[in-house]
Structure 1
Amino acid sequence: MKNETQEETYDELIQGKTEKKFVDKYTLPISVVIAGVIVSMAMVYSAGISELRTQGVESSNSQNIQAALVDGGNILPLETEENILATLIDNGTISPAKLPQVTELNLLWAFGLANKNPVLENGPIMDTRYGGPTSMASVGGWSVTTGSVMDHYNKHILATLTSDQQALVERIAKGIYRPC
């Protein structure tokens, strides 16, 4: 009976350490993505959704009707993408109900990493003690970019925050930072 109790206690201790390691390892990347989503949502709300929709329509009308998907450097015609997508949905590889969520996540992720912001330039993510931004899952895990993720990291002025919004972003970024 004593051995069983000791084994149970040991198993609980190991389980607790494993959970702590998991939390310690993934807290920062998840927090950065959440902060990016919050920042992106605040910027979209502030800029006005109708203005963004109008710009998107004008932009798409001025482009070639045969839209293309860039995938790993290969350009696929929209028709090819639609055929592949239909096949993957038909055979159950992709759930059509979940596809918009993935698209939204990737759009917000790209927006958060690419938008020029002092938090990305001088914030906790730039700390060399932890390897800088390319060592963070939120940056290093970004895989749908053209070229290197650092070619776009903090490089494009997509939205400008008010001083209150910027203060909120900085407070969130500093409050959730955990080294991997």
Structure 2
Amino acid sequence: MDMVVEKEAPVAVETGTVLVVDDDKPFRERLSRFFERQGFDVVSCTGVVEARAQAAQLKPAFAVVDMRLDDGNGVDLVEELRAIRADMRVVILTAYGNLASAVAAIRTGAVDYLAKPADPEDVVKSLTADRGERPEPPENPMSADRVRWEHIQRVYELCNRNVSETARRLNMHRRTLQRILAKRSPR
């Protein structure tokens, strides 16, 4: 007697509307493009006020929110977003991570808390992971050298590409910083 075994269809990532809230324009655009390629409808915002308006109108299924925004705090926004749609899955991103802010983000209803610069694939995995499950760890995480380089680049941009000011804020010698900036990004 032959048994017919049906193959299970591959698990598809649930897509829907994702609200991307970040005041870092290059990062926001890169993340938005990645979500669009994954089949999400993307609405990007630069701050809290714009995000509130878009969320109230669209009621997105997902949100990616930077912790520090020009016009407010992303953790405070999580509660407001979850009040608009209780099942909204929100991931907090921050370049200034610490344990206290991670706990605050999770307590307000965020499903995950990721350090910037976060890999877009890791963000999608966090948003679409089954409830109660942690996403798989990244197969190819950024190297420590790459994380350091990304942080230096971010501070450099925030200092309007002023080498002296960036070196002062990073507590490093100006010439050392110039050598780092002159090199290509590590893998």
**TM-score, length basis structure 1:** 0.23
Higher helix share: 1
More strand by share: 2
- Give the TM-score taking structure 2 as reference length: 0.23
